[in-house]
């Protein structure tokens, strides 16, 4: 058997002498480069100043023999400290470039590629275990050990390349760069901080192509982008499914409201606070009015998504609301002028490329662990609701639209979730609850308050002139919810009105509730018990959709039949996390 050969070329010389001594004692011939060879020689260990890629096949062995080259069995190599260098506050571009290892990466990959024969040691922590395995195996550490070392080397070079590309992405392709320093398309955007102010640094980036959105005004934050990208995905799907412009109002990565463009009647215009708008209401403006008006308390400070270019009427509505930002595929000149004046020019306006398609595979990291899955690209349309399992099978086209709106909203809502929809708009959504019935109650309670805002006495509340929209929304919410006010809070509430306001009685509320009918309700997973069906009925639900699979499916269908509800069993669970 020919004498085994080890090639050593390392930057990090931790445990190097111990490894060299162990290899020499085991009869391994040592080859080294530069400083590595010098350090080993200085320790009194013989080393020569040789082919890694040669395979154990006849043709390669013949080539080695013809060229008088001995095959290398062990490669010891690690890389220049690029990440440590760029982490220094005074690091210059020249410093960073100097620490980009070229030969080391080549050695690692060449050796790892041929791990069927070659052992590649890229981490000093592995030296002792390797020596033990080499000694016990009499010069053969085994294929499993070589495979483990090869994987580690490949992971190290991948991480190294990622650090280098990330650094140069920041230097040459970041949105903050001036035109003379920007080398091409924008791939990265620095953010002030992450989810909280202490979570720094933070950024948004892509590893190929360019960022699919650009900032026209303001500066988006980490949560802004979570809301913007999720909400735009929702409205884009709504428009594709229903061929109507769509709008969404997002807060903390779930929709407070979402709607498609259905014209508002005079009562709805008043409920949604757009009856005094000078510009004619477009379908897009109507969609946002409905989305914002579903739950005005939750929409306070929302991030808005539009499926179509923002027009002037929509911008006028937005300009009057407390909102953090908007994302849309475009803006008319007049609309952009209105939005850029909002929040003293700090209102966040994002324009997204409508042709952008995300990768089919998505990855997230939780507690240092990477989780990967196929993107939820399921399509939701009328065909999803064809399996009607109740006696009443009369599913109207309007109800189908509402079920599509509710179900698509669930696709982008933190689970568990249940949504109620009416007239092409979400009217109540229960998000992020561990219990299904609590989702149904929460969404139903919001739908009930939404409907009470249509009550004639609510529409005729005698607000004083000058009361702000947000103050009106809060006052109305307190009024319809029947919240008991005392002390200074009661005085403040009374002070918003020209005259004393009598509360709505329980009888009035119950009587008004009976006037709501034809609401659609969808669930992101099956109903485990019929209590969900009974609760939904109390909020005017006539149409239900949920996946089958519960041991109580038959009981839930029985409950739906009791209330003459149309119940469609879908084959699609829509958990979103």
Q: What is the DSSP string of 138-174?
A: TS---HHHHHHHHHHHHHHHHHHHHHHHHHHHHHHSB
Residue 252 falls in the annotated catalytic set: yes
pLDDT bin (cut points 50, 70, 90) of residue 34 is confident
pLDDT grade, residue 478 (50/70/90)? very high
Q: What is the pLDDT of residue 58?
A: 75
Q: Strands (DSSP E) along 375-453, which ranges?
A: 417-422, 425-431
Torsion of CA 281, 282, 286, 291, to 10 degrees: -130
Please tell me the predicted confidence (pLDDT) of residue 53: 45
Cα(111)–Cα(59) distance, integer angstroms: 19
How far apart are alpha carbons 174 and 205 in whole angstroms? 9
Q: What is the pTM (predicted TM-score) of this model?
A: 0.90
Q: Rounded to whole angstroms, how far apart are CA atoms 31 and 45?
A: 11
- Cβ contacts of 324 within 8 Å, gap of 6 or more: 224, 227, 301, 302, 303, 347, 348
> How many CB atoms within 10 Å of residue 149?
25
Average pLDDT over residues 336-365: 96
Per residue in 63-84, pLDDT (tens digit) is 556 655 567 899 999 999 999 9
Query: What's the pLDDT band for 276 if we cut at 50, 70, 90?
Result: very high
Distances (CA, A) of 296 to 249, 313, 543: 10, 19, 25
Residue 188, CB half-sphere, CA atoms under 13 Å: how many? 18
pLDDT number for residue 71: 78
Cβ atoms 283, 245 nearer than 8 A: yes
Among 13, 214, 252, 438, the one annotated catalytic? 252
* 26 Cβ contact list (under 8 Å, min separation 6): 131, 134, 135, 139
Q: Span 497-502, mean pLDDT?
A: 94
Which of 248, 343, 235, 340 lies closest to 303, judged by CA?
248
Q: What is the mean pLDDT of the chain?
A: 94
Task: Compute the average pLDDT of residues 553-573.
Answer: 96
463, 491 in Cβ contact below 8 A? no
For residues 331-345, average pLDDT: 97
- Give the model confidence (pLDDT) of 500-514 as tens digits: 999 999 999 999 999
Dihedral (Cα; 281, 285, 286, 287), 10-degree rounding: 160
Q: What is the mean pLDDT of residues 550-556?
A: 95
The pLDDT of residue 67 is 52
Interatomic CA distance for residues 357 and 464, integer angstroms: 49
Residue 365: other Cβ atoms inside 10 A: 9
423 assigned to active site: no
Residue of 113, 214, 454, 472 marked active site? 113
d(CA 460, CA 371): 53
- The answer to whether the Cα torsion of 282, 288, 293, 297 is positive or negative is negative
Q: Phi first, then psi: what are they for 495, rounded to 5°?
A: -70, -5
Task: State how far the alpha carbon of 425 is from the alpha carbons of 235, 260, 262, 541, in Å.
Answer: 12, 6, 9, 14
> 427-442 in b/e burial notation, b at 16+ Cβ within 10 A?
bbbbbbbeebbebbbb
d(CA 452, CA 470): 18
State the pLDDT at residue 113. Answer: 94
Answer whether residue 219 shows pLDDT above 50.
yes
Reply yes or no on whether the pLDDT at 138 is more than 80. Answer: yes
Q: How confident is the model at residue 1 (pLDDT cuts 50, 70, 90)?
A: low
Going by their DSSP bridges, the two strands 29-32 and 323-328 should be labelled as unpaired
The pLDDT assigned to 163 comes to 97
Per-residue confidence (pLDDT) for residue 554, from 0 to 100 = 96
Separation of alpha carbons 148 and 153, rounded Å: 9
- Alpha-carbon distance of 205 to 191, in angstroms, equals 10
Across 329-353, average pLDDT: 97
3-state secondary structure of 258: strand
Q: What pLDDT was estimated at residue 70?
A: 66
What span, in angstroms and rounded, lies between the C-alpha atoms of 345 and 561? 55
At 51, is the pLDDT very low, low, confident or very high (cuts 50, 70, 90)?
A: very low
- 102-111, 234-243, 556-565: least confident range: 102-111
Yes or no: say if 182 and 210 are a contact pair by the CB < 8 Å rule.
no
The Cα 369–Cα 553 span in angstroms is: 37
Lowest-pLDDT range of 224-228, 243-247, 309-313, 466-470: 466-470
């Amino acid at each position: 058997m020919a004498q085994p050969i080890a090639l050593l070329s390392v930057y990090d010389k931790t445990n190097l002498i111990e490894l060299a001594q162990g290899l020499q004692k085991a009869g391994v011939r040592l080859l080294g480069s530069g400083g590595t060879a010098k350090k080993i020689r200085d320790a009194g260990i013989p080393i020569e100043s040789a082919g890694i890629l040669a395979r154990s096949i006849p043709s390669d062995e013949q080539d080695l023999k013809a060229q008088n080259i001995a095959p290398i069995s062990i490669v010891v190599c690690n890389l220049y400290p690029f990440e440590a260098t760029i982490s220094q506050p005074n690091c210059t571009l020249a410093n960073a470039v100097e620490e980009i290892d070229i030969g080391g990466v080549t050695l690692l990959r060449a050796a790892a590629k041929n791990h069927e024969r070659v052992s590649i040691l890229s981490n000093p922590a592995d030296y002792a275990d390797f020596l033990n395995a080499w000694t016990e195996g009499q010069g053969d550490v085994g294929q499993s050990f070589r495979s483990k070392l090869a994987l580690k080397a490949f992971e190290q070079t991948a991480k190294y390349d990622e650090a280098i590309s990330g650094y140069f992405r920041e230097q040459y392709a970041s949105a903050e760069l001036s035109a003379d320093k920007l080398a091409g398309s924008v791939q990265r955007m620095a953010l002030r901080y992450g989810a909280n102010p202490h979570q720094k640094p933070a950024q948004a980036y892509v590893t190929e192509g360019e960022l699919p959105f650009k900032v026209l005004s303001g500066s988006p934050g980490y949560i802004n982008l979570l809301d913007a990208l999720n909400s735009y995905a929702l409205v884009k799907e709504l428009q594709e499914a229903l061929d109507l412009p769509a709008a969404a109002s997002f807060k903390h990565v779930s929709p407070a409201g979402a709607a498609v463009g259905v014209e508002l009647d005079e009562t709805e215009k008043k409920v949604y606070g757009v009856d005094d708008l000078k510009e004619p209401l477009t379908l897009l403006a109507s969609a946002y009015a409905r989305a914002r008006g579903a739950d005005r308390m939750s929409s306070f400070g929302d991030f808005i998504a539009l499926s179509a270019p923002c027009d002037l009427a929509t911008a006028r509505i937005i300009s009057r609301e407390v909102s953090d930002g908007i994302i849309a595929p475009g803006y008319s000149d007049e609309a952009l002028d209105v939005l850029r004046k909002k929040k003293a020019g700090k209102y966040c306006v994002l324009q997204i490329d409508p042709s952008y398609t995300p990768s089919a595979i998505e990855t997230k990291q939780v507690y240092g662990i990477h989780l990967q899955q196929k993107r939820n690209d399921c399509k939701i349309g009328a065909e999803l609701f064809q399996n009607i399992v109740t006696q009443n099978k009369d599913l109207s086209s309007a109800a189908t639209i509402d079920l599509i709106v509710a179900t698509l909203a669930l696709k982008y809502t933190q689970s568990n979730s249940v949504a109620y929809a009416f007239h092409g708009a979400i009217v109540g959504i229960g998000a992020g609850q561990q219990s299904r019935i609590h989702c149904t109650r929460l969404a139903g309670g919001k739908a009930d308050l939404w409907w009470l805002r249509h009550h004639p006495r609510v529409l005729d509340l005698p607000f004083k002139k000058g009361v702000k929209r947000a103050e009106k929304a809060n006052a109305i919410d307190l009024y319809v919810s029947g919240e008991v006010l005392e002390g200074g809070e009661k005085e403040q509430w009374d002070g918003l009105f020209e005259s004393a306001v009598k509360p709505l009685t329980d009888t009035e509320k119950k009587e008004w509730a009976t006037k709501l009918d034809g609401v659609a309700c969808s669930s992101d997973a099956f109903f485990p018990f019929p209590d969900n069906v009974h609760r939904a009925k109390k909020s005017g639900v006539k149409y239900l959709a949920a996946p089958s699979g519960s041991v109580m499916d038959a009981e839930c269908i029985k409950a739906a039949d009791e209330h003459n509800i149309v119940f469609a069993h879908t084959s699609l669970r829509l958990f979103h996390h």
